[in-house]
């Protein structure tokens, strides 16, 4: 009888641990932009036989493709183009402060898709994209490195030597790693 009680208690404990772990994983995924995302990209390399070789294809997704996916796929809530620059790009504040960071070229839908929290300012608008406005969104760490305790909104900076105006300061998103 005691063995049955211990066995049932063990099973219930394992289920509770599994459910708790599931909640933690889903919360961490939500912090990073949600769990219902699908990413497509063109790889810089492709596998040919047993070797990796540069992908010399000139086929890329175009902005029109993103708009078509959003318009033609009813299950897609928002489609977001993103052009990443992963390496440490030099970012210079107006007062001479410098930092290095990666960045993403995005459109106005990025904020909705990633569920970003705004600390101050506004996100990039469709009008900014249409007019090719030189505006940028800063994460909290880059903002602190460039502007210390001052509000970065409306300040000028150079992103890879291109002048831009800060439109927003983001709340830092933290994940599980």
**What's the mean pLDDT in 73-98?**
84
Do 87 and 12 share a structural domain? no
Do 85 and 2 share a structural domain? no
| Residue 72 pLDDT exceeds 90 | yes
Instruction: For residue 156, tell me if it sits in a domain.
Output: yes
What digits encode the pLDDT tens for the residues 102-159?
888 888 888 888 777 777 888 889 899 899 888 888 888 888 899 888 888 888 888 8
Do 119 and 54 share a structural domain? yes
Domain that holds residue 142: 45-170
Q: Please, what is the average pLDDT of the chain?
A: 80
Instruction: For residue 38, tell me if it sits in a domain.
Output: no
Instruction: For residue 112, tell me if it sits in a domain.
Output: yes
| Residue 171 pLDDT exceeds 80 | no
Reduce the secondary structure of 69-94 to three states and give it as a string.
HHHHCCCCCCCCCEEEEEEEEEEEEC
Do 26 and 58 share a structural domain? no
Query: pTM for the complete prediction?
Result: 0.62
Do 99 and 149 share a structural domain? yes
Q: Give the burial class of 158: count Cβ atoms within 10 A of its Cβ; 0-12 exposed, 13-18 middle, 19 or more buried.
A: middle
């Amino acid at each position: 009888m005691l063995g049955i009680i211990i066995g049932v208690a063990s099973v219930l404990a394992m289920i509770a641990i599994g459910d708790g772990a599931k909640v933690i994983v889903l919360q961490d995924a939500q912090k990073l932009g949600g769990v219902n995302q699908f990413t497509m990209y063109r790889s810089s390399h492709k596998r040919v036989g047993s070797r990796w070789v540069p992908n010399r294809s000139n086929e890329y997704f175009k902005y029109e493709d993103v708009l078509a996916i959003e318009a033609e796929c009813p299950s897609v809530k928002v489609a977001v183009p993103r052009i990443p620059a992963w390496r440490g790009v030099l970012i210079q504040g107006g007062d001479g402060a410098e930092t290095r960071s990666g960045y993403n070229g995005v459109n106005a839908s990025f904020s909705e898709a990633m569920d970003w929290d705004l600390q101050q300012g506004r996100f990039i608008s469709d009008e900014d994209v249409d007019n090719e406005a030189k505006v940028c969104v800063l994460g909290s760490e880059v903002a602190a490195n460039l502007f210390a305790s001052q509000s970065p909104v409306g300040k000028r900076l150079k992103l890879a030597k291109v002048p831009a105006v800060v439109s927003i300061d983001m709340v830092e998103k933290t994940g599980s790693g």
